[in-house]
Structure 1
Amino acid sequence: MTLDHSVAPPARPADTATTTAAPATPSAAGSRRTGRWIEDWRPEDPDFWASTGRPVARRNLVWSIFAEHLGFSVWLIWSVSAALLVASGFDFSAQQLFVLVAAPNLVGALIRLPYSFAVARFGGRNWTVTSALLLLVPTLLFVWAVQDPTTPYWAFLLIAATAGLGGGNFASSMANINFFYPTAEKGAALGLNAAGGNLGVAVIQLLLPVLVGGAGLFGLVQASDGGLHLERAGWLYAALAVVAAVAAYAAMDNLAVASSRPREQLGVVVRPQTWLVSFLYVGSFGSFIGYSAAMPLLIKLNFFVPTPDGAGAGVNFAYYAFLGALVGSFTRPFGGWLADRLGGARVTLASFGGLVLGTLVVLWTLTRLAPNPEQSVAVAEANAAWFPLFLGAFLFVFAATGIGNGAVFRMVPVIWRHRAEQGTAAGSAERTAALAAATKECSAALGVIGAVGALGGFGIPMMFGAPWIDDPVSAVETAFVVFTAYYLVCAAVTYAVYARRSSVLGQAGV
């Protein structure tokens, strides 16, 4: 294995077998301008993987998780800070706040496609450094906006949209890690990588209220007496973004095999499987990110009212909003692990069954709540009695989204590998070439699927509280009816195309 050592640090002992110096080919030398490049990478070769590939892949996975974790935290920084803006002196309506938490999700979805293609163009290590530094844009703008109560809403909306840069990190990170691992281990590796990123949502939702002085932490930390200081969160994540960039520069690698032409990458958009899996991913990941973004406001809207003493009555969102993202993050690698053993289609089908059941219970709980347009303390406290069931059902939904996320992404490399194996003989040069091409196309497909799936993160908050919605409480109930119907359709598609034994992909064990 050869690397461009013009700017690379000395190889660590564990990497000795992967960093033997050799002259770069003319084509490689012309296209590799900076960074550390691995020219020989054969994860499907058992001997290579056992002796050389696994430790290098693990090291890159660790730092990929760290960078992606920060990206998710920045992406969802408005999900919890929006619920604190009114207490900080900003006069925004519930509808305006729902749009504010939806805006980063729209940008994050749209930017995922170019981010996934950037890995092949610039290298996984190089792009991780760049994407980490780009997080300075939303974090520093956040610092500026939240310190001035006269900042107009349109400026907040634009600044919140830039947080979508953090959502793009997922696509590039998943596309990069897909190249490092053999097919048999992609489910677990991609699940861990995604879970580390997803966990960033839970971390920001748990720690931001504590960090800015808005809430305590289960008696371990008391809320600040000096008022809210939202800018602290921006400063912290700006500093962490620099740390992530430095760590990626020092510890990650670029893979020469990850290069491909834009036309090859865009070829996935004509594959029907790209759009079928995207449809399923809207139901799983779109639900995870959409519910994560909206959950703080949902709790505050349905179970909490402010009081003159500042304590409030009912349920404080700051103590519970992070739990959904935490559960979904931890179940995602479990979904990938199950899919490696039972098949992605079976696990995906079961996850959508869980989503239907959990969503119906959440809906039923919401119908038990009394309307509270006058912000009555008595009504808020009465509604709070239903909160344990609401929270339990919602956490069940989050668990199902996490399992579904891991299982759906596990299906993708298997589908593309099956397609590559058709019409080629095992062990032949044609099979080897087809599998190499499939790996590249699979990474591009992951980017497209991730981008489309993330659109659910925009649609869910908008259905809860778009500007044209007069009654957000009723809109929430209607939205859950629509979501349940969508999950039922996803389950039917999963069974008909992927899980049914008589289907082509069902026989292939997708």
Structure 2
Amino acid sequence: MTAPSPAPAPPSRGGRWIQHWDPENETFWQETGEKIARRNLFFSVLSEHIGFSVWTMWSVLVLFMGPEYGLTPADKFMLTSMVTLVGAVVRVPYTFAVAIFGGRNWTIISASLLLVPTVAAFLVMEPGTSFSTFLLVGALAGVGGGNFASSMTNINAFFPLRKKGWALGLNAGGGNIGVPVIQLVALAIIGASGGPRLLLGIYIPLVVVAAVLSALFMDNLENVKNDTGAAKDAAKDAHTWIMSFLYIGTFGSFIGYSFAFGQVLTNQFGRTPLQAAYVTFIGPLLGSLIRPLGGWLADRYGGARITLYNYVAMGVATAVLIAASMEKSLALFTVAFVILFVLTGLGNGSTFKMIPGIFQAKARAKGLTGEAAASYGRRLSGASMGLIGAVGALGGVGINLAFRQSFLSYGSGTGAFVAFLAYYGVCFAVTWAVYLRRSAARSQVVASAEAKPQLSYAEV
């Protein structure tokens, strides 16, 4: 029976550093850990939510930018691609910033940085501004995409393995929901004949609120140390790159479609900005809300199984989109697109749950047990999450560039959807071959077959 662990001393008012943290100890978790972890989760979600809103604000700002701005559809897809690209790249340093500055401290800093792109966009958003200026200001908005990586790394350290799927799913889902929220706010503003500066003016004080609340109610964990070795080990591990590939298919699709949905409706189906805004928020909203369910299902049935079946469903939905696009059926296209959004959210939850499970399985295959296994799993999964999140977000860049090329070549998004369908098929094959096929599962065990326990990666 596990001996009771002492509760950590209350964090000091000056630094709010927690010295002792052992969530895998059931006594510690019930008496002390869960309350603190949930509090940090709540305010982490708030900050990440505002970050996602700032990151994806250009998905709605381009709807405000009519002919007087002088931008072509290809220009707008290039603009949203730039925003997505920077958001993907900054996820790598944001991941390691948690270990350098502390989870609470970095949340304050990263939330405050959101003022830069918001204020900059407020200043330049008017006809006559050059396309290069819009590209530069759009790139600044990419810092909002980095908040996801630091938030996920931070929350991963707070929760025990058995709760990670739910906690990471809730953290990510609460952040992802910033996408439909800013789209809903934009819908209200467009409907009231307001301008883009009103939208930006609403978010500037919200950024300040997120930073202040993070300072008041979050904590740093002393045992989350800066470990460059973990980053190197994660980068050398094949599973980091395999999961990055799979995450491109889920989160890359989610963020890419979030930026592109409104533009596809206006360019391919002739919808006005207001008509597009009426439906563009629905997909990201449902995809965000279902992400915790994806994590919960992965906790219960295994992330690899849920991910595999989810890719089948994504392939079917994409095939329907291709048919609807060719038949120019707006109703079928919209319904299929919303369903595809839901599936990306479900897959986001299941794929991210797989990450700590994979490294925990590798720890046990090495013969590690108890806190040693948990520490190994936390170390590598935390480091890998930033890399996986960054590469996954690059999928959003690919989606916007694919749409841009498809519209330039064919005048519609059909060609892009064909490419996406092929990618989902490859993701299905990779998930099955690496994490579910019995012979593959056996070959992935780290240590010798006789000396160490064998674990199936289908359990992750």
Q: TM-score range by the shorter chain?
A: over 0.9
Query: Structure 1's 76 and 472: CA in aligned 2 closer, same or farther, altered over 3 A?
Result: farther
Greater alpha carbon shift after TM alignment, 389-398 vs 113-122: 389-398
Query: Structure 1's 86 and 261: CA in aligned 2 closer, same or farther, altered over 3 A?
Result: same
Tell me the equivalent position of 2:427. 490
- Tell me how far 1:259 sits from its aligned partner: 1.1
Tell me the equivalent position of 2:451. none
2:340 equivalent among 393, 397, 411: 397
Partners of 1:338 and 1:173 in 2: CA distance: 22
Partners of 1:423 and 1:324 in 2: CA distance: 42
Whichever residue aligns with residue 321 of structure 2, its letter is V
1:470 aligns with 2:408: yes
- CA deviation profile, 1:466-500 (whole Å, cap 9, x unmatched): 5x9634634x1111111101100100110111122
1:150 aligns with 2:151: no
1:184 equivalent among 152, 162, 169: 162
With normalisation by structure 1, the TM-score equals: 0.84
- CA deviation profile, 1:126-159 (whole Å, cap 9, x unmatched): 000000000001000010011x312111000110
Structure number with bigger Rg: 1
Greater helix percent: which structure? 2
Question: Any residues of structure 2 matched to 1:85-484 within 5 Å, and which?
Answer: 85-86=65-66, 89-146=68-125, 148-211=126-189, 214-215=190-191, 223-224=192-193, 228-304=194-270, 316-369=275-328, 386-424=329-367, 426-427=369-370, 432-466=371-405, 470-471=408-409, 473-474=411-412, 476-484=413-421
Uncovered stretches (5+) of structure 2, i.e. residues with no partner: 1-5, 445-454
Q: Secondary structure at the match of 2:65?
A: helix
Partners of 2:158 and 2:378 in 1: CA distance: 10
Partners of 1:38 and 1:416 in 2: CA distance: 25
1:67 aligns with 2:47: yes
- Tell me how far 1:258 sits from its aligned partner: 1.1
Q: Secondary structure at the match of 2:195?
A: coil
Partners of 1:67 and 1:74 in 2: CA distance: 11
Query: Structure 1's 154 and 339: CA in aligned 2 closer, same or farther, altered over 3 A?
Result: same
1:35 aligns with 2:15: yes
Partners of 1:340 and 1:163 in 2: CA distance: 34
1:56 aligns with 2:36: yes
- Tell me how far 1:331 sits from its aligned partner: 1.3
Partners of 1:400 and 1:424 in 2: CA distance: 37
Aligned residues: 442
Partners of 2:301 and 2:221 in 1: CA distance: 31
- Tell me how far 1:38 sits from its aligned partner: 0.4
Partners of 1:48 and 1:305 in 2: CA distance: 56
- CA deviation profile, 1:406-437 (whole Å, cap 9, x unmatched): 0000000010011112232545xxxx334313
Partners of 1:305 and 1:276 in 2: CA distance: 39
Query: Structure 1's 425 and 117: CA in aligned 2 closer, same or farther, altered over 3 A?
Result: closer
Uncovered stretches (5+) of structure 1, i.e. residues with no partner: 1-15, 23-32, 216-222, 307-311, 370-385
Partners of 1:425 and 1:412 in 2: CA distance: 18
Partners of 2:131 and 2:165 in 1: CA distance: 42
- Tell me how far 1:232 sits from its aligned partner: 1.4
Partners of 2:69 and 2:330 in 1: CA distance: 28
Whichever residue aligns with residue 368 of structure 1, its letter is E
Query: Structure 1's 471 and 209: CA in aligned 2 closer, same or farther, altered over 3 A?
Result: farther
Partners of 1:264 and 1:303 in 2: CA distance: 48
Query: Structure 1's 398 and 413: CA in aligned 2 closer, same or farther, altered over 3 A?
Result: same
Partners of 1:177 and 1:246 in 2: CA distance: 19
Whichever residue aligns with residue 154 of structure 1, its letter is S
Partners of 1:94 and 1:59 in 2: CA distance: 43
Partners of 1:462 and 1:423 in 2: CA distance: 43
- Tell me how far 1:17 sits from its aligned partner: 4.3
Contact 1:104 1:164 in 2 (8 A): yes
Whichever residue aligns with residue 129 of structure 1, its letter is I
Contact 1:170 1:197 in 2 (8 A): yes
Whichever residue aligns with residue 330 of structure 2, its letter is F
Percent identity of equivalent pairs: 46
Q: Secondary structure at the match of 2:24?
A: coil
Partners of 1:336 and 1:21 in 2: CA distance: 30
Query: Structure 1's 295 and 235: CA in aligned 2 closer, same or farther, altered over 3 A?
Result: same
4+ long deviations beyond 3 Å: none
Query: Structure 1's 142 and 203: CA in aligned 2 closer, same or farther, altered over 3 A?
Result: same
Contact 2:7 2:28 in 1 (8 A): no
Contact 2:11 2:219 in 1 (8 A): no
